[in-house]
Amino acid sequence: MSKFNLSAIDSYSYEPLRKQVYNVLREAILKGELMIGEKITEMEIADELSVSRTPVREAFRMLEQEELINIIPQQGVFVAGIETKKEIDDIFQLRAELEGLAAYLAAQNITEKQKEKLKEYTEELKDHIAHNDYRGCIKVDIAFHRIIKEASDNKWLEKFLDTLFEQATRFRRSSFSRQGRLQEFLQEHQELGEAIINGDPDKARESAEGHIRAAWDSIITVFEKEQR
């Protein structure tokens, strides 16, 4: 059984191997499948992806340039965490505004098929939370917010949110570690989904902004505790 459960390399791809390894690792980090602070080695990744260590080493350098991993001499390679409070604030300040706008537009434009998906993801989230499945929660959260982005029917808003969401996902595991956060997380998704499905744009915006600010506060609380 694989240790990290990474996506497989596409043996038919024309992309250089280092780029494929980079893409697999980048996705795993941004989706929270490789956790903040987790140690990874060239040998483990090479074995898991059935490649040599050279493209893994090259992929590590690319990820280090993006500040997604830290390469520490004599210690190893670690998934990068939160460096400063300002980094968190900058991401979540903008995200609260744009997620609010996306929810507002989604409540006006959502299709019946998208409504069913939101309901389905809310139920899946409930199940993952009941089993304390953090990785499952993150995957469903990504899918839930993707539906809202798509339902907003604004391609530029969707692009900006994709970038912000990727960065915010790195912090999601920290947010979950605060006592009681998972139940709040479920309730926020239920309220947000309900407002969008009911076609209430003002309530949807309010719920979305509240949801993002709650995550923001939770992450700051954990970050400051770790700093102390």
Residue 43 falls inside a structural domain = yes
CB-based contact 128:137 (threshold 8 Å): yes
Which H helix or E strand runs over 228?
none
- R_g over Cα of the chain: 18
* 132 and 185, same domain (yes or no): yes
Residue 145 falls inside a structural domain = yes
Q: What is the CATH number of the domain that holds 59?
A: 1.10.10.10
* 39 and 115, same domain (yes or no): no
C-alpha distances (whole Å) from 227 to each of 78, 84, 151, 171, 222 are: 18, 10, 39, 15, 9
Where does residue 112 rank: exposed (0-12), middle (13-18), buried (19+ CB within 10 A)? exposed
* 94 and 197, same domain (yes or no): yes
Which residue range forms the structural domain that includes residue 195?
85-227
Residue 5 falls inside a structural domain = no
Q: What is the pTM of this model?
A: 0.75
The whole-angstrom separation of Cα 31 and Cα 168 is 9
One DSSP character per residue, 104-138 reads HHHHHH--HHHHHHHHHHHHHHHHHHHTT-HHHHH
* 124 and 74, same domain (yes or no): no
How many structural domains does the chain have? 2
* 68 and 181, same domain (yes or no): no
Q: What is the CATH number of the domain that holds 167?
A: 1.20.120.530
* 201 and 90, same domain (yes or no): yes
* 73 and 97, same domain (yes or no): no
* 37 and 140, same domain (yes or no): no
Listed residues 34, 63, 79: the one ending a domain: 79
Residue 1 falls inside a structural domain = no
* 47 and 137, same domain (yes or no): no
The whole-angstrom separation of Cα 62 and Cα 58 is 7
Dihedral, CA of residue 153, residue 147, residue 88 and residue 41, to nearest 10: -130
Q: In what order do the strands lie in the sheet with 76-79?
A: 39-40, 76-79, 69-72
Residue 21 falls inside a structural domain = yes
* 204 and 124, same domain (yes or no): yes
* 118 and 220, same domain (yes or no): yes
* 90 and 56, same domain (yes or no): no
Query: Going residue by residue through the chain (228 aa), what tens digit of pLDDT does each one get?
Result: 457 778 888 777 888 999 999 999 998 887 777 877 889 999 999 999 999 999 999 999 999 998 889 999 999 999 987 778 898 899 999 999 999 999 999 999 999 999 999 999 999 999 999 998 887 888 899 899 999 999 999 999 999 998 888 777 767 666 777 778 889 999 999 999 999 999 999 999 999 999 999 999 988 888 888 776
